[in-house]
Amino acid sequence: MRGNVHSPTKPTRRTSRLRAAVVVATAALLLPLVSAGPPATAGQQRPGTLQEAFAAAAERHKVPESVLLGVSYLQSRWDGHGGAPSVSGGYGPMHLTDARTALARSRHHDDGAEDPRGDTGRRALSPRAAVPDTGQLPVRLRTLERAAKLSGLSAEQLRSDPAANVRGGAALLAQAQRELGLPLSEDPAHWYGAVARYSGADRADTAAVFADEVFGVIRDGERRTTDAGQRVALASLPEVRPDSGQLGLLGLKTGGARGVECPKSVSCESVPAPYQEYQDEDGNDDYGNHDKADRPRSQKVDYIVVHDVEGYWEGALKLVQDPTYVSWHYTLRSSDGHIAQHVPTKDVGWHAGNWFVNAKSIGLEHEGFLAQPDAWYTEAMYRTSARLVRHLAKKHNIPLDRQHIIGHDNVPGVTTANIPGMHTDPGPYWDWQRYFTLLGAPFHATGGPDSGMLTIRPDYGKHRPVYTRCDNSGNPCPPHGSGAVRLHTAPDKDAPLIKDIGLRPDGSPSTTGVNDTGARASTGQQYAVAERAGDWTAIWYLGTKAWFHNPAGQPTAVSASGQVVTPKQGRTSIPVYGRAYPEKSAYPAGVPVQQVSPLPYRVQAGQRYVLGLKTPSEYYYARTFDPANHVVVRGEDYYQIQLGHRTAFVKAADVDVLRS
C-alpha cells in the first residue's frame, strides 16, 4: 500500500538523532580538516558556502541533508570543477547531465595512426566502424534538463552555479521519492529507492550497487576541502539501515550476470565481443575482433591497461560488438560505475597498440566524451574500476604499482615508426593518486631523504600546470588539477622542455600540448635521481637529465627504494626496445621470425632507470581463426624499465641490476 506522499512524517526519536547529527556535521566545519584548503578558506565558513547550499536545498525540497551529501560525494566528491562537465556530460557537485554536445566526437580507436593490435607481423589494423545510431539520448545523460523543470532554475545556472546545481539534484531526488509513492521522510533510511533511481541505471543490481555505496558513505561519514576551497563535512550515521526492499518499486531489469569475471561488489554484465570470420572490403578472408588464447596457462598476464574510450557507453558497446572493429576486456560507465565485460581475460584483446603488451594485458575502457577539455571522472566510476582492478590483480597475481597498472599513454610504440601514432589516454587529468588510494595501495615515501630513486606524486588538486591544445588551438586549457609534472632541460621554469626524438625526429622540443607526452612524468611512476639543485630535482629520462620543480614546501615527488638498471660495465650505451621479442634462434619451424627493432633512444653508461619487472621474451603467434594454430615463442630475458613517460624494455644481458 502506498502512503500519502504529501503528508508530513512525524519525527521519531531516531530521526531526531539523525537530524542532530547533521547539525553536528555543520558545526564540525569549524575544526581542522585532513585535507587543508587554500589560506583564503581558513577559519569559519562565510555565508553562502557549499555546506550551507546543501542545507538550504535539503530544507527546500524536504530531502535529508545526509542523503543529498552522500549522493553528491559519490558523484563528484562535492567538487564543482569550475562548471566544466565530466566525461559523461555531468555538471556540478550533483553531476547533472547534459551530454548533447559530446556526440560529434570521434571514437578512441578511430583516432590517430595507432594500430590497436600492434602486431607488425600482420597487416596494420585501421578501425573505421560505422558511427553508431545514437537515437534518443538515454535518461541518465539528460538529468540537467529535468532538474531545470523541477527547480525552476535555468540550465546555465545548473551548469555553472554549485548552489543551484545542488538545488537541482535535491529536486530530482524529491521527485523520485514522490514517483515511488514514498513520503518525504526526514529519515535517510527511507530514501533507498530514490537514491537508486538517481543513478539512472536500467538494471536493478547496478542501481543497488550505487545506492549501497551512497549509504556506505552516509554511515562512514566524509569530510574534505573541495577544488574551490570549500570545506564540506558529512557526519557519520552508523545507525542508518536503508530499506533496500524499495528497489522493487523501480521496475528495473533483474537477473544475475552470467559469464563475467567481476567481483561481487560491483554491477557487471556480459556484452560479448564477436570472434567471427568475415571477408574484408577487398574480398580477403579475415576475422575479428580479438584472439583466442589460454592465459594464464599460455602466457602470464602482467598488465592492466587503463583507457578512456572517448565515446559514450551505448556507442562503445555497439563498437566492441562489431567483428571488423577492435576489442578490449571491460567498459566502465561513468554515471554509476556499471561494468560490461566483452572478452574473457584468458583471451587477447586488440586495444593497446603494442602486440607484446596486448598479449600480456587486460584492457579497461572508461566511458568518456571529452566534449570539453576540462573533463573529469566520477567517484562512482573510480570506485568500481578500482574494485575490478583489485579483483583482477589478485586473480592474476599482478602487483598494484605503476609498472603493472598502466595507462594507454604509458605503452611504448613497437618500433620507431609507431611512436608518433601512439595514443595518450587517459591523459594528465586522470587522478592516479586517488585511483591507487581506492586500490588500497596509495603512493607514499619508501626511501630516505637522500634516496637515489623517487615516486612522482604532486598534490592533484593544487598542482595545476598549464596545458594547451585541448580544443586544437594554442590557447591554454581551463585550469585543472593534474597528476603529471613537466620536465625541463635545466633547473629553471623558463628552460626548454625535454626533447623526445621518437615523437619529433627533427629534434624540436616538447610542448605543453595536452596530448604531448614527450616531457611528462605522472603520479606513481618511479625514476632514478640524477641530480638535485635547490627546489629542483633531475631524473634520468629518455637518455638525459630531466628537471622538475620539487620544492620542499609543496613536493611533487616522494623518496622511494627499489632496483634500478644501468649498462653493464664497459658498455658506453645500450639499446632499448618497445617490445620484448625472442631472439631468432628461439622461433620454431613454421613461425616467422619477428625482428627485434630498437627504438631511437639509448641508455648511456652511468645512467640508471627503475626496473619494473623481469620477463622472458615472448611472441604470441596468432594469425589464424583456429586457435589450435596459435603458438607462444619464448626466448631470453628482458627487463621493463621506466624510460620516459612510456615504459621500454632492455635485454637482461645488457644491464646490471643495482639497489637504488
498-519: pLDDT as tens digits: 999 999 999 999 999 989 999 9
Q: Is residue 119 part of a domain?
A: no
pLDDT value of position 363 = 98
pLDDT at residue 374 tops 80: no
State whether 271 and 240 are in the same domain: no
Q: Is residue 630 part of a domain?
A: yes
Q: Which three cell numbers stand for residue 557?
A: 615527488
CA dist., res. 239 & res. 643, Å (int): 51
State whether 242 and 316 are in the same domain: no
* CATH code for the domain in which residue 334 is found: 3.40.80.10
Q: Is residue 117 part of a domain?
A: no
Q: How many domains does the chain have?
A: 4
* CATH code for the domain in which residue 23 is found: 1.10.530
CA dist., res. 280 & res. 284, Å (int): 5
State whether 525 and 400 are in the same domain: no
Of 193, 224, 250, the position where a domain reaches its end is: 250
State whether 545 and 422 are in the same domain: no
CA dist., res. 76 & res. 95, Å (int): 7
| Secondary structure (H, E, C), 390-428 | HHHHHHHCCCCCCCCEEEHHHCCCCCHHHHHHCCCCCCC
pLDDT value of position 645 = 98
The one-letter amino acid code at 258 reads: R
What average pLDDT does the segment 283-300 reach?
94
State whether 394 and 284 are in the same domain: yes
Of 206, 234, 250, the position where a domain reaches its end is: 250
State whether 575 and 524 are in the same domain: no
Q: Is residue 130 part of a domain?
A: no
State whether 94 and 64 are in the same domain: yes
The CA-based angle 203-204-208, given to 5 degrees, is: 120
State whether 492 and 420 are in the same domain: no
- Mean pLDDT is lowest, of 33-42, 277-286, 375-384, for 33-42
State whether 423 and 537 are in the same domain: no
> Who contacts 44 (Cβ-Cβ below 8 Å, separation ≥6)?
29, 30
pLDDT value of position 111 = 63
pLDDT at residue 38 tops 80: no
Question: Are the beta carbons of 147 and 200 closer than 8 angstroms?
Answer: no
Average pLDDT taken over every residue of the chain:
88
Q: Which domain holds residue 339?
A: 257-428
186-218: pLDDT as tens digits: 999 999 999 999 999 999 999 999 999 999 999
State whether 52 and 170 are in the same domain: yes
State whether 361 and 311 are in the same domain: yes
What average pLDDT does the segment 575-600 reach?
96
pLDDT value of position 8 = 30
pLDDT value of position 41 = 30
State whether 241 and 194 are in the same domain: yes
156-168: pLDDT as tens digits: 999 999 999 999 9
Of 250, 273, 289, the position where a domain reaches its end is: 250
Q: Is residue 376 part of a domain?
A: yes
pLDDT at residue 127 tops 80: no
pLDDT value of position 135 = 55
> DSSP per residue over 71-89, as a string?
HHHHHHTT--GGG---TTS
Q: Is residue 307 part of a domain?
A: yes
Q: Is residue 123 part of a domain?
A: no
Among 244, 100, 219, 247, which residue's Cα sits nearest to residue 159?
A: 100
Q: Is residue 81 part of a domain?
A: yes
